[in-house]
Structures are given as structure tokens and as C-alpha cells.
Amino acid sequence: MKVILLEDVKSLGKKGELVEVNEGYARNFILKKKLGLEATARNMNDLKLKKANEEKIAKEQLEAAKVFAEELKEKVVTVSIKTGEGGRVFGSVSTKEIAAAAKAQLNLDIDKKKLNLQEPIRMVGTVIVPYKVHPKVTGELKVKVVEA
């Protein structure tokens, strides 16, 4: 019996796949627990339309992420850090502080977890920080660190 999976089923397949299973397994497990639907012509058509819609939405999100990454390149966030004699820096600038400064200065909601900062910034100057906008798109944000 052919079944369209509505959820991931371990050792059988992923959501949206068409799989062939024994009739008893389908009737007593897959259909009973609403993990899948019988692969009728109507259900197959619905699956095809749903996949086409999901692809369209994914494409739109990718385009929006590319546009946002281009806008992000031109923006600069200024963060101040406490310094002592001879330019010696006290502390560091983390992704949390960068995200808060971007919200305050540029009115951008940036997720601190998506900022790809290898280690905290411990110097005065300009640093380019990669930002994971989308799984396929990475933007760059200029962070200007100044003395407080």
C-alpha cells in the first residue's frame, strides 16, 4: 500500500515522501496515529500543490534574505568599550552587545546567535562580523569599536 507521510517516521521516511508499506502496518500504525495518508489521486494532487507552494515560499525567503544581506553591508554599528592608558582595553565586545547596539542605532532586530563572531572583540577599530541571514546567505555587518 502506498502512503504519503505527514510526519517523519523513523526508518521509513521523511515528511511529504511517498512510501510503500504493508497494508497492516499502514492501517494499524501509520493511518491510526495520523502519521500518513493513503496515496489516493486527490491526496497526491494535494501533496504536489503543497510542495509547489513550499518551494515558492522558500524562494521568496531566499530573495528577501539576499536583499537584507545587501542592505546590511552598508550599515555600521558603533559600540563603545572602556579603555585605559596606552589604548589598553578593559573587557570585550560580544554578540549580545552588537545585537543591542544594532537595535538601538539602526532599528534592526538581529539575532545574537546568528552573528558569527569567532571570539569577542578586544581591540578598538572596525571589524566586519559575518551574519547568517539564511542557511544559504551570509551578510556582513561593520562594527566600529570606539573608546568610551
- For residue 121, the cross-strand partners are 93
Q: Are 43 and 37 in contact (CB under 8 A)?
A: yes
Provide the whole-model pTM: 0.71
Look at residue 136 and tell me whether its pLDDT is greater than 80: yes
Say which amino acid occupies 107: N
Residue 58 shares a structural domain with residue 73: no
Residues 37 and 24: their CA atoms lie apart, in Å, by 14
User: What are the tens digits of pLDDT across the range 47-84?
Assistant: 999 999 999 999 999 999 999 999 999 999 999 998 88
- How many Cα neighbours within 13 Å face the side chain of 128? 6
Phi and psi dihedrals of 122, rounded to 5? -125, 30
Q: Report the relative pairing of strands 76-81 and 18-20 from DSSP bridges.
A: unpaired
Residue 18 shares a structural domain with residue 70: no
Residue 117 shares a structural domain with residue 59: no
User: What are the tens digits of pLDDT across the range 82-124?
Assistant: 888 877 888 899 999 999 999 999 998 999 999 999 888 988 8
**Could you give the number of structural domains in the chain?**
2
Structural domain boundaries, residue 123 = 66-147
- For residue 134, the cross-strand partners are 137
